[in-house]
Structure 1
Amino acid sequence: MADELGEAWLTIVGIGEDGPAGLSPASRDALAHAEWVTGAARHLALLPDLACPSAVWPVPFADGIAGLLARRGQRVVMLVSGNPFWFGAGSVVTRALEPGEWVAHPVPSTFDLAAARLGWPIETTRCLGLHAAPLARMRPMLAPGVRLIVLLRDAAAVGTLARYLDAQGFGASALWVLEALGGPRERVRRVTAADYALEDVGHPVAVGIETVGDGAVLPGVAGRPDRWFAHDGQITKRPVRALTLSALAPRPFETLWDIGAGSGSIAIEWLLADPSTQAVAFEADPVRAARARGNAAALGVDRLAVVVGRAPDGLGGYPFPDAVFVGGGLSEDLLDWLFRTLPPGTRLVANAVTLESEALLARWQGDKGGDLLRIELSDVAPIGTRRGWRAHYPIVQWSVRL
């Protein structure tokens, strides 16, 4: 049977709210010869005259993968919204397949249709799929003049979005509520976030946002102000954080280990550098670990993995990083473990503030090389009726490739 079908036994068919009318000839042919069809209930309802058995894809989405793979050797069609590979299900499914086992026939995505209705250039519009993701993913993008198109789960999520924007100081933002785009139920309505009161929003729904307001704007470069992070004093301060991120040099698709994470500020700024980066924060204090997790969620990088444990004992069992930052718990045993365990080429940056840890870094730098930097900072403070420079503890920073 596999030889008769060829390698591509699965056809992923993008379908819009216009149903059969919007399908390509290739999609129609795949459906005409299908032995089994699956998809969301609303997608199947758009094609009531299927000539083969069909099944609703289960929730949660991952539960359907095993059943799909069990159909290898049959002609299978999977129905998905719009473009399967633009915040769609395509990439989730194809991760479990070998190259050549599938073909895909996309139709315009909701993002395409929304941009066409609003007249917004997609290349400068932030597009987000927030069906099952927190609204805080938008937080780094919120600034006056920024346009976003977000896909949402349901009508209730639209109201939650409006309240979130208002709470962040962007209640004056214009919202375009875009329902069932491309189909007979299509409707577009404009409201203001602070005044949102719609109660009859249909599914599927997207929202176009033109951000207006005087809410705080998260800077786009490393060294964000300390006020963005909840902390108990254990935080790498803004100027040192900027120098530390510069030394760590985050790149797309890289992973960081932040050891002794404290407030999580280093790992969070690493994640803010690029949406493809990953980070694991190790923190021995459960209260600080919870605080780091909360900071990450508030700043839209909830993908931060926070591990409660003391280094080096708690470091095993995680994918090796591309870069490591040691901000707390610096010791001979930790450095020895990192050099013995991690792959050559891993970037290591360690900050020291005490004489003992400074001496440790100086000795290891003498043996292993790398760059040793002493950072001395002062800020202005009152002295009676005048002002003077208040010195902070100097920081010694070692950066090296293992």
Structure 2
Amino acid sequence: MSRTKRAALALIATLAVAALACVYPYVARRDAWPSASWQNPWFLLALVAVPVVWYWGIFAEDARRPRLRLGTVAPLARGPRGLRSHLRDLPGVLRAVALALLVLAMGRPVSVLREQRSDDKGIDIVVALDLSGSMRAILDARASDLPGQPKLPRGKRLTRLDTAKLVLQDFISRRRTDRLGVVVFGKAAYVLSPPTLDYHLLTQMVSQMTLNVIDGSATAIGDALGTAVARLRRSDAQSKVVILLTDGDSNAGAISPEYATHLATSLGAKVYTIQIGTDDEVEVEDGIDLFGQPRYVRHRFPVNPALLQEIAQKTGGASYVATDAKALADSMHDVLDRLEKTRFEASSAAYEDLFPFLLLPGVFLIGLDALLRAWLLRRFP
């Protein structure tokens, strides 16, 4: 057989073996290959070795074959001429195709197999928490009335802010699919966190809130409500909610509570107001006495329940008055019971490594090459 004819047949065999080897990857992940991306593209440079291995396994094999001088060629006329003699180049073809598949596998093709979508019931909520000076008033509570029944230090009296933080942290821990944000306000309003599903981070941020982080000399209810509504402006949820926790009357801010209520109504956001305490005299810690014990004075902080009721009524929400920790926790939980659940679609891409679909036929061809060389197509000097 001439060298040219032999090379043509070997090339046809190579294409046929490559096509058969690609059947499994194609059938297994037919739609994934067009969008595949290579994570290790530099490994693909090794494909230049495939033609060398192909030539070395076919034509260079003859040059490496030992030779024996004979006085006559008559015995060769009775040598093997069957199928095995025509398949002598098959091991070299299998080795070259196997190498190509293994190099492609090392390139690590990855594809976005599908986009996973999950419909979860949830709402978008922004909690506006009052950090004005009046939140330092004492709101006594038994441990059994607090969420989780925490262990309180002996003699520790909780302020309104302490209790609100415990209730808010419990409220966050009960969420599963609700996006939750927090706004804090005193003389001005600030965004602590936009609506998020990262409840762990949100809990940590709430636990670190203190009265001295912002100017608490006044209470800007209008600014707080307006800021909370602004965080919901781009929300795609059908149910948008603002929970306003305050213990005072609006006496500061650039936005009036009435106009902020109008903004909430225009956006379709419901506002649930929770008034902490009443206008009765309450105890406020005022330093320590000669014996190092906290000293308390009585003080009255003005409230405006009519304003909070008006805000809740105009936006379709509800108004609560919490005079103790249990009532505050019940108010927070009752808010969600009143809300209709809406579905927002969360999508995440599912990535899949495709290299196993190339690795399997590559390893199979290497095994077949070794089997043929050791058994069916052995070469003898």
Structure number with higher relative contact order (C-alpha < 8 Å, ≥ 6 residues apart): 2
TM above 0.5: no
Higher helix share: 2
If you compute each CA radius of gyration, which structure gives the higher value, 1 or 2? 2
Taking structure 2 as the reference length, the TM-score comes to 0.28
